[in-house]
Structure 1
Amino acid sequence: MKYLSNEQIPDFFSSLQATHEVRLPIMLPDGTRCLGHPGDGTVALFGGALPAKPTAAFFPHEGPVFVAASEGFTEPSAPEKPLLVVGFTSRDLACLRFIDRFFAEGWRDDIYFRNRQGALVVGVSGYCGPGGASLALADGDCDFELVWDRTRWLVVSHTGAGSAIVEGLAETVSDGTLERLRKEMAVYEDENEKAIRRASELIRADRVPDTFWSEIGDRCIACTGCNLACPTCTCFGVQDWRYAGRVKRSRMWDSCQLDGFMREASGHNPLGTEGLRTRRRIHHKLAADPDRWGEISCFVCGRCDAVCPTGIGIFAVARELIERFGNI
């Protein structure tokens, strides 16, 4: 097993730019973090999950479908270099595993896999969470993992492609540090996970009345922050842009909290109230997806609760739902 000092991290990822399109957490001037390129800012692996969903590297907010013009019709080609995306926590990796399944099911989504195919994913774990808090080890679901043990980054390969990337690192670790960290950071179900699972049980048992969703919906201002932040939200719309004699078709993230999300051409809207749309947002993650995929599609990353200005992220709604209907 290899390791890197914190000072070596920027040069290590910069060296990979010759063969990969590298995206990694960087610090912005306002003190927040986002995915960027080496050289865009200071590398910022500490701090836990990024505020924005890292799955956007493969399913971007706006992605081209084709361009039509008088001289012909063109579709985007695959990236010249495969993506190498750094910064996924263990929960983020579970989200990525889920949307990989989603976009591969039935009609395989070529647009998604144009970016995803051949990409390398790098997890981040260890004592690098907010304020030095621990992040659970990934132990898979990524090509290699950076584990901060408070003094250095242990580099743990999980695939052959990951091993090939890090094989040039000369340093090795064989002192049992990784095994100790794995025991220290054993994953236990936290209170939010328990709340999500209990809320799922109540919704699937039809214990939650429509009046509850109307009350929650009255608090929604349709800012769409919950959907824009959620790594497992996959809804999109299609938009045509006309300019300079060309038409560019793009697909763009959509939100089930918007009035026009399911409105039909006739004007009929099966989700015509904010209560119905809010119910759909929660029901989709906690009931419909378990029925279809065999697992809840909320992986407890906490982003929707962090961004919701009115306090109706999925954790908050689950706790209120349990308090009111858990003993009926």
Structure 2
Amino acid sequence: MKVRIIKKKKIKDLLKEVLPKWNLYVPQRNSGTDVWMEPLPKKEEPLEAALEKIVLDLVDTVISPKEVFFPQLESMFEFKDGNIQETSESSPKLIFGVSPCDLKGILLSDSFYRRTPKDKYYLSRIKNRLIVVKGCLKPPRPTCFCTSVKTGPFAETGFDLQLIDAEDSYFVEVGSKRGQEFTTTYKRYFSEPTGNYLITIKKIKTKACNSLALKVDFQKALNLMAQDRFIPEEIYRKIGERCIYCGGCLYVCPTCTCFNVVDNVKGTKGERLRNWDACIFEGYSREASGHNPRQDRWLRTARRYEHKLKFTSKVTGESGCVGCGRCLSSCPVGIGMSKFIQEITGEK
């Protein structure tokens, strides 16, 4: 893997130069304390203000960057007098500053939407993209357990470029042909590293791995979940009684792909809309007849955990959880994937 280096003070100039060619998304802090993956504006005046809000030292976006490719609400097509007009979007996108666990979430979403029947709306959005990962020197949130899932704190594959914090500079790992082309096109910002830089990078990564305090026996949990009906019903019932079914955990999750489709019709014209949905909502599994096979709360709770830790693994060979910890951070009553894993593995 090739490695380059870029001075931190050059990052904003680099972003301004690439902006005309890409829809550029970077982590930005809003007027409060939250960080969101937002597009940089093309106009000069709001651009300068947005550049001052960029956060790269500790990337902790409220919602994962999956919404760049799978929006919370999107128009699939418009129709008028029996004619249909597609509204798919395929502009080039550069996602700068993605955390390693969120990268894994994006890759899992890619895999899901590539299955037959392929989702042309999602695939059109990822057709021309470049992903720049920012490795984590320390956990972006205390609920992270990415080392247990082996999704961080640095990505091993799947990225175009990966930034590794090195005081006043970033080491830049080149992970793809497109990443190589990017560093070549903007070569005046990048230089060759000198000295024993590979040893330095290894030390940085080792120190980062050791900084994560929250660890769970993830493999044991996967093995237990693979056994049919192994998890006692009482565990699901206990969680179901505490859960207020706000859906927060699923809206912030990098790997949730559930959606609903509705038609907004006015006379002979309208549009078909797709919006995020969640399997813990009662209406998600309700049939047209009114029958609901998951009427009881605990059944929907079981569905969620079994989907993440069992069914996804069966289909893809990979877990549906990336260890970001957002579910626990967002939950008003303290329910999260790491808590569930500790419960079934007896770690508490």
SS of the aligned residue for 1:194 comes to coil
CA-based RMSD: 2.6
Q: In structure 2, what is the Cα distance between the partners aligned to 1:204 and 1:160?
A: 37
Shift of 1:192: 5.4
Counterpart contact for 2:138–2:211, Cα < 8 Å: no
SS of the aligned residue for 2:216 comes to helix
- Out of 102, 110, 131, the residue aligned to residue 92 of structure 1 is 102
Does structure 1 residue 64 correspond to structure 2 residue 86? no
Distance 1:118 1:223, change over 3 A: same
Shift of 1:59: 0.9
- Out of 226, 239, 244, the residue aligned to residue 204 of structure 1 is 226
Unaligned runs of 5+ in 2: 41-46
Does structure 1 residue 185 correspond to structure 2 residue 205? yes
Distance 1:43 1:129, change over 3 A: farther
Shift of 1:151: 2.0
Give the letter for the 1:65 counterpart: M
Which shifted more, 220-229 or 173-182? Answer: 173-182
Q: In structure 2, what is the Cα distance between the partners aligned to 1:76 and 1:244?
A: 20
How big is each residue's C-alpha offset from its partner over 1:8-52, in whole Å with a ceiling of 9 and x where there is no partner? 212211211121111111111102211112323521112134221
Structure 1 residues 253-272: aligned runs within 5 Å: 253-272=276-295
Shift of 1:130: 4.2
How big is each residue's C-alpha offset from its partner over 1:201-225, in whole Å with a ceiling of 9 and x where there is no partner? 2232233221221111011111101
Give the letter for the 1:123 counterpart: V
Distance 1:261 1:191, change over 3 A: farther
Q: In structure 2, what is the Cα distance between the partners aligned to 1:311 and 1:165?
A: 43
Aligned to 2:187: 169
Q: In structure 1, what is the Cα distance between the partners aligned to 2:260 and 2:329?
A: 25
Aligned-residue identity in percent: 26
Shift of 1:272: 0.6
- Out of 28, 31, 35, the residue aligned to residue 29 of structure 1 is 31
Give the letter for the 1:149 counterpart: A
Distance 1:188 1:296, change over 3 A: farther
Aligned to 1:218: 241
Shift of 1:278: 0.6
TM-score, normalised via structure 2 length: 0.85
Counterpart contact for 1:216–1:275, Cα < 8 Å: yes
Q: In structure 2, what is the Cα distance between the partners aligned to 1:298 and 1:144?
A: 23
Give the letter for the 2:56 counterpart: L
Shift of 1:69: 1.4
